[in-house]
């Protein structure tokens, strides 16, 4: 007696397999996306820790003054020139999560580096918020036009290392509350912040309420 052996799949079986793969993909892709963003956030924390260390190395050479720029947001030509001798990798100046927003000025390119455009804000500056190039406020100028204008008293805010090291901000992720940007996928205006003592903390409340 000869027993017949069926080879291959029927159309129905093939469709069932495809449907199962599609369901699994729908379940797993968001998990992979969250894992990828978690890795970016971890890299960002590492970047800020290294930048905080570079700022402290600079301050040890310059009478306990941290590096200083004209204002909080881009361009940071003065800042990158001051810190460049203290870092080995310029990539630490750029938050990897900026890629998904498509902000060309926040990407790690040679042109951006030469122009002083980096992916973080510096809160040691000696100019007024209005020193930003005049124009319509947008995602990259908002911090100067509104946030710092409201929160800074006086016009000289260069930071000394003797100020409260655990409370005052030194640098942070880019953020722009009016557009509802979620930097690391965890809420409006969430960001990583490096404080004067060099520790980094994730802030999940609006920056205007947490800033010091």
Contacts of residue 150, defined as CB under 8 A and 6 or more positions apart, other chains included, come to 208
Task: Check whether 55 has a pLDDT greater than 90.
Answer: yes
Summarize the confidence of residues 50-61 as an average pLDDT: 93
Helix H or strand E encompassing 14: helix 11-61
Cα dist. 172→15, 33, 196 in Å? 50, 23, 11
Task: Check whether 131 has a pLDDT greater than 70.
Answer: no
- Give percent above pLDDT 70 in the chain: 67
Q: List pLDDT tens digits, range 71-112.
A: 888 889 999 999 999 998 999 999 888 777 777 778 889 999
Q: Give the Cα separation of 16 and 57 in Å (integer).
A: 61
């Amino acid at each position: 007696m000869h027993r017949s052996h069926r080879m291959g799949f029927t159309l129905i079986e093939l469709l069932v397999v495809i449907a199962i793969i599609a369901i699994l993909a729908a379940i797993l892709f968001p998990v992979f996306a969250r894992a990828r963003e978690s890795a970016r956030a971890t890299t960002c924390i590492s970047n800020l820790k290294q930048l905080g260390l570079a700022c402290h190395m600079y301050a040890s050479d310059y009478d306990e003054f941290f590096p200083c720029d004209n204002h909080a947001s881009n361009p940071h030509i003065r800042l990158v020139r001051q810190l460049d001798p203290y870092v080995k990798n310029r990539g630490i100046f750029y938050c990897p999560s900026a890629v998904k927003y498509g902000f060309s000025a926040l990407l790690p390119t040679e042109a951006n580096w030469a122009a002083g455009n980096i992916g973080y804000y510096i809160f040691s500056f000696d100019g007024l918020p209005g020193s930003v190039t005049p124009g319509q406020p947008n995602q990259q100028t908002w911090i100067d036009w509104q946030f710092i204008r409201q929160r800074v008293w006086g016009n000289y805010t260069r930071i000394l290392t003797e100020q409260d090291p655990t409370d005052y901000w030194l640098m942070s992720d880019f953020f722009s509350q009016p557009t509802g940007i979620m930097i690391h996928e965890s809420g409006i205006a969430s960001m990583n912040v490096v404080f004067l003592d060099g520790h980094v903390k994730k802030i999940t409340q609006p920056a205007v309420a947490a800033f010091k």
